Chains A and B, each alone.
Chain A
Amino acid sequence: MRISSPLRRSAHRTPLVRALQGAVGAPNVVYLPEDLLAYEYDATIERHQPEAVVFPGGTEEVAACVRVAAEHGAPIVPRGSGTGLAGGAVPVRGGVVIVLTRMNRIIEIDPRDRVAVVEPGLINLTLQEACARYGLLYAPDPSSQRICTLGGNIASNSGGPHTLAHGSTVNHVLGVEVVLPDGRVTWFGGRQPDAPGVDLRGLFVGSEGTLGIVTRICVRLERAPEAVRTMLAVFESIDDASEAVSAIIRRGIIPVALEMLDQEIIRAVEPRLHVGYPMDAGAVLLIEVEGLREAVTEDEAAVIAVCRELHAREVRTAGTEEERARLWEGRKGGIGAIGAISPNFYILDGVVPRTRLPEVMRDIMRLSEAAGFRCANIFHAGDGNLHPNIMFDELEPGATERVLALGGQIMRVCVDAGGSITGEHGVGLEKRSYMEWIFGPADLDAMGRIRIAFGADERFNPCKMLPTGRGCGHAHASELLRHLQTPGVYV
């Protein structure tokens, strides 16, 4: 442990730091350069040092920090676990990072009314586990659910494998307590859905920490299903698997999850996790249906029939809870497995209409090949939400630039197919420049007006989401490279 001399400490104790210490107590403010390192970046590669990091313990302390930052003209960046994949928590203009992880209590679970009230620093999985004790579930389950926070889920309107049937985070949030940019505390929504008035709740969810800081969350819970069937369908090609995805939906069956893993991913996952994916398969689909026993039995039979018609080599149903967990482990551990076969990789997040999947997948593979990179795909096929992972070695001169350029080309393919530049990771810093591909000047101007209405000037999570912002210039993905300091995973 490094001990700093009192002299060094006082040198870094700027008036802002002293005021923050007054707001939340000295032990909850970090300001020495070596201590700030961990808060310079999130799960992306951009990094920038903040002036201070604070760990408020409650709503009033968050509000106090926001007011202090305002008085000192300091930028504010809210942060949860730092798992964001779009650079949303990177303090690109310094200032104060407000970390919500101390505020991680479950205030209340009301199993009768099916409502939970929690703090924003609560880990997604912790809420799931607490709900399971009552036979209830909180549906949104991002793949990072073991570590990501509910506050972060709200900021990015997170999805996950079960979005197909259950919807994204916004569909499960009843109300949020928010500290606005002027330090005022208010509630959007409440404990019941469809409250009178403008749906500020719906506007706030997914606003990426640019309109305020969520300090308390009320979510809707659901009764856990009576039965679940998880199937693994093995295909010779991505094309066949994509056709099966469409055919299942065409039959009027909406599985709760419909996930695809391509050959590259299978070959990364299987040797490490031994989950039972055939190494020579072209693609596998992980298909989950739930409901009453009678319903899942019929759905299972229909799904198997469709997959067989579309040339599935094999369709297997998990016979036990352990087997089911193993199949899911391959999906949820898939991204990590890529790290074992490639020095670096870049995770993309794009959306296309489901029916365009086969051609878009072909385009992605063709572009990757042309650029000289292997690309592994593991994604929410049912939603058309793609996650190509481009594998590369940053030590190879020019590789990183070419990877980011390829990422841009793939995003372009998604947009041209009628899709979007992000389905669940957010725009953040990474995709600001792509916003102009899907929105016109009037649309972006209107989004800017929302910031003004909320009193969120360029100090509030600066340089995020919208393509222009004074002091930030036009950030482009390739700019991220300039700050590259350590080898690692490019996500």
Chain B
Amino acid sequence: MTAAAADRVEAALPPERRRPAEEYPVDGLIPRIAFRPRTADEVATLLHAADAADVVVVPLGARTALRLGRPLARYDVALDTTALNRVVAYEPEDLTVTVEAGITLKALQSVLGERGQYLPVDPPPDDRVTVGGLLATARPGAWRGHLPAARDLVLGATVATPQATLVHSGGRVVKNVSGYDMHRMHTGALGAFGVIVEASFKVAPLPAGRRTFVLECAHLEQASELAFALWDRALPLRGLALLSNAAAAAAGLPAAPHVLIEGVGRAAVLHRVADAVKTQAALLHAVRGVEPGDAPWTQLRTLAGPQTGCVVRLGVPASRVAAAVEAASEAGCVAWGYLASGSVLATAASLDTSTVERLRAHAVEAGGFLQIEAADASLRATADPFATPERDLVRALKAQFDPRGTINRGRWMEGV
């Protein structure tokens, strides 16, 4: 970054928006400049100035997913979105909310909770994540498969572009098919095509009640059979997980294979779920533990988004979840999987490229995929974090929306 370029970018926003650059390290790199804009227009202005000066901007929210994606090619300007934290519109009776992208999920849930509602997502590591980050990283949690994901709940979005424009798509109503759903294109895109500054969601009533059940099994295969038996009964579940010995221990349970089940609904419904769990446990000779409350779910969620170590996420068919958990355990990981979404998480203090590729081959053979969710830059440089099959179109889209690679350059692939 030349001094002239730095001057141009520094002049883009008022000095009071500046932040100490050393507070925003990514992969050990420190940016030259850091800004914390207060409005969507300021974000667009900053992106445009950076684009004109040919410098690279990295948008940051709660900074809980900075080890996702390839190592950055360059890092000149940190764009902290957390001052964009307002609730723009909340219509409880329409089940819709529109918020700025820097608001945390915790703050949003608190506003919605006052009206008995919530945004039904549980991304890693916890509710500290910002709404912009939730969309840009699109990481599922335990509820996925039982409930919609963020990519399903988003009704519309506004995105700031390097061309200094604010681009809208979708709307604020719960059903809408006008134009291309560009907000879905930005979901999971890590800002490749613009920085999300505002989003609208469909929200849901908070469940009347919830109960978590644990079943200790002799082996993972038994756990899988048990989980399928419960899944097949059309019960109102919100979580259904298969845990390896190590994952159970990490979740505060005895170190044995487990099925972890969360039922949601009113008392009579939860009673039915409890009965079903009891019946299936007896049929398949599993041991029922005491109801642990939310703790195991919270711990698994935290474990999926650590600040150190490695996490990979495999997507496999439901019938292959147990085998994938087994394979990841054999590779030395703490592993668990969610039956309804086929999402298997595996964590370890460190993983080498060959192990990651072996697990990826396992997932691909089952018709699925592997994504590196968090790892040190060295692993992300040698093992492709995404292995996205469709690269040409992503490049073509990048060329249209961020031709100079101003935002998060290199996160996806060379130049993207």
Which of A's residues lie within 8 Å of B, judged by CB? 110, 112-115, 156-157, 159, 163, 167-168, 170-171, 180, 186-188, 190-200, 202-203, 205-207, 223-226, 246, 249-250, 252-254, 291-292, 294-295, 298, 351-355, 380, 383-385, 418-427, 431, 435, 438-440, 442-447, 449-450, 452-455, 465-466
Contacts and interface: CB of A to CB of B under 8 A. Distances in A.
A380 B174 CA distance: 11
Contact of B266 (A295, A447, A465): A295
B272 A196 contact: no
A439 B233 CA distance: 45
Interface string B277-312: 000000000000000000000000000000000000
- A interface SS class: loop
A192 B341 contact: yes
A187 B397 contact: no
A200 B185 contact: yes
B188 A199 contact: yes
Interface stretch (B10-18, B148-156, B245-253, B345-353): B148-156
Contact of B390 (A159, A187, A253): A187
Nearest to B193: A198
A453 B393 contact: yes
Tell me the dominant secondary structure on chain B's binding face: loop
B188 A454 contact: no
Interface in B146-164: 148-149, 151-152, 161, 163
B83 interface: no
A298 B268 contact: yes
Interface stretch (B31-39, B87-95, B106-114): B87-95
A220 to B, nearest CB: 9
Contacts of B316: 192
Interface in B382-416: 385-390, 393-394, 396-397, 399-401, 412
Given A170-B184, A193-B149, A453-B400, A254 B205 contact: yes
Given A442-B165, A443-B179, 16 more contacts: A113-B318, A171-B148, A187-B390, A190-B369, A196-B387, A197-B412, A198-B394, A199-B184, A199-B189, A223-B234, A224-B234, A246-B93, A252-B208, A254-B95, A353-B91, A446-B165
A385 B175 contact: yes
A297 to B, nearest CB: 8
B93 A355 contact: yes
B317 A191 contact: yes
Contacts of A156: 177
A355 B173 CA distance: 11
A421 B179 CA distance: 10
B150 to A, nearest CB: 10
A292 B184 contact: no
Contacts of A252: 116, 205-206, 208
Contacts of B387: 196
Contact of B401 (A195, A353, A449): A449
A27 B91 CA distance: 56
Given A291-B236, A294-B268, A442-B166, A194 B149 contact: yes
Contact of A194 (B91, B144, B318): B144
Contact of B393 (A353, A385, A454): A454
A63 B205 CA distance: 46
Contact of B400 (A206, A419, A452): A452
B151 A226 contact: no
Contact of A112 (B152, B175, B228, B399): B228
A271 B134 CA distance: 52
Contact of B140 (A193, A203, A424, A445): A193
Contacts of A198: 185, 188-189, 192-193, 388, 394, 397, 412
Nearest to B206: A252
B381 interface: no
B185 A438 contact: no
A372 B272 CA distance: 56
A265 to B, nearest CB: 20
Contacts of B181: 157, 170, 202-203, 205-206
Q: Which 8 A-B pairs have the closest CB atoms?
A: A202-B184, A197-B388, A192-B315, A252-B205, A196-B386, A449-B400, A294-B268, A453-B396
A297 B163 CA distance: 55
B169 A443 contact: yes
A426 B188 CA distance: 25
Given A167-B152, A447-B182, A292 B168 contact: no
A200 B317 CA distance: 21
Contacts of B318: 112-114
B140 A194 contact: yes
B265 interface: yes
A222 to B, nearest CB: 8
Given A190-B368, A191-B368, A298-B266, A446 B175 contact: no
A163 B168 contact: no
Contacts of B92: 250
A255 B233 CA distance: 20
22 contacts: A112-B318, A167-B152, A186-B389, A187-B390, A193-B315, A194-B140, A197-B388, A199-B187, A202-B181, A203-B185, A206-B177, A223-B234, A351-B175, A351-B176, A380-B175, A383-B174, A383-B175, A384-B174, A419-B171, A427-B178, A435-B178, A450-B185
A156 B169 CA distance: 16
Contacts of B152: 167, 170-171
Contacts of B148: 167, 171
Interface in B335-385: 341-343, 367-371, 385
The residue among B176, B177, B236 with the most chain A CB atoms within 10 A of its own CB is B177
